[in-house]
Amino acid sequence: MALTTGRRRPPAPLLVAATVVAAATLIPLVYLGERALDRGWSFVADELLQPRTAALIGRSLLLVSVVTAACVVLGVGLAVLVSRTDVVARRALAVALTLPLAMPSYLLAYLWVSAAPGIAGFWGSALVLTLVSYPLVLLTTTAALARVDPAQEEVARSLGLGGVAVLFRVTLRQARAAIAAGALLVALYVLSDFGAVAAMRFEAFTWVIYGAYRSGFNPSRAAVLSLVLIVFAVVLVVAEGRARGRAAAARLGGGAPRPAPVSRLGRWNVVALLVPAAVLAAAVVVPALTLAGWLLTAGPRWDWAEWFAALGATVWLSVAAALSATAAALPLGVLAARHRDRATRALEAASYVAHGLPAIVIAISMVSLGVLVLRPIYQREPLLILAYTVLFVPLAIGSVRAAVESAPIRLEEVARALGRTPLQAFRSVTARVAFPGIAAGAALVLLTCMKELPVTLLLRPTGTDTLATRLWNHSSVSDYAAAAPYAAALLVFAAIPTALLGMSSTTAGEVRSD
Average pLDDT over residues 396-410: 77
Task: Choose among 120, 105, 104, 108: nearest CA to 200.
Answer: 120
Interval 137-153: pLDDT, tens: 888 888 777 766 665 66
The most distant pair of C-alpha atoms in the chain lies apart, rounded to whole Å, by 70
pLDDT at 124 > cutoff 80: yes
Domain assignment present for 256: no
Task: For residue 379, give Cα distances in angstroms to 31, 314, 446.
Answer: 18, 16, 21
DSSP structure class, residue 85: B
Domain assignment present for 259: no
Which has more confidence, 24 or 172? 24
**Amino acid (1-letter code) at residue 293:** G
pLDDT at 32 > cutoff 60: yes
3-state secondary structure of 465: coil
What is the per-residue pLDDT for 487?
Answer: 84
Which of the four pLDDT bands, split at 50, 70 and 90, describes residue 70?
very high
Domain assignment present for 2: no
What is the per-residue pLDDT for 66?
Answer: 95
Task: Choose among 326, 462, 467: nearest CA to 401.
Answer: 326
Domain assignment present for 315: yes
CB 87 within 8 A of CB 269: yes
Which has more confidence, 315 or 90? 315
Domain assignment present for 443: yes
- With left for phi above 0 and alpha for psi between -120 and 50, is residue 299 left, alpha or beta? left
> What DSSP string runs through 94-120?
HHHHHGGGGS-HHHHHHHHHHH-GGGT
What is the per-residue pLDDT for 513?
Answer: 39
Residues with Cβ within 8 Å of residue 166, at least 6 apart in sequence: 153, 156, 157
Which has more confidence, 242 or 177? 177
What is the per-residue pLDDT for 301?
Answer: 61
Total domain count, the chain: 1
Look over the chain and give the mean of its residue pLDDT values, rounded to a whole number. 77
Residues with Cβ within 8 Å of residue 500, at least 6 apart in sequence: 443
What is the per-residue pLDDT for 50?
Answer: 80
Domain assignment present for 36: yes
Q: Kindly state the percentage of the chain with pLDDT values over 70.
A: 78
Domain interval for residue 176: 7-249+265-509
Domain assignment present for 1: no
- Highest-scoring range by mean pLDDT, 140-154, 172-186, 353-367: 172-186
pLDDT at 464 > cutoff 50: yes
| Whole-structure pTM value | 0.74
Interval 282-334: pLDDT, tens: 998 888 888 888 777 766 566 778 888 888 999 999 999 999 999 998 888 88
Which of the four pLDDT bands, split at 50, 70 and 90, describes residue 191?
confident
Which of the four pLDDT bands, split at 50, 70 and 90, describes residue 6?
very low
DSSP structure class, residue 407: S
Domain assignment present for 257: no
Which of the four pLDDT bands, split at 50, 70 and 90, describes residue 422?
low
Calpha distance 55→203 (Å, rounded): 10
CATH number for the domain including 126?
1.10.3720.10
pLDDT at 162 > cutoff 60: no
Calpha distance 150→260 (Å, rounded): 5
What is the per-residue pLDDT for 69?
Answer: 94
Lowest mean pLDDT among 113-117, 135-139, 215-219, 464-468: 215-219
Q: Kindly state the percentage of the chain with pLDDT values over 90.
A: 8
Average pLDDT over residues 362-368: 79
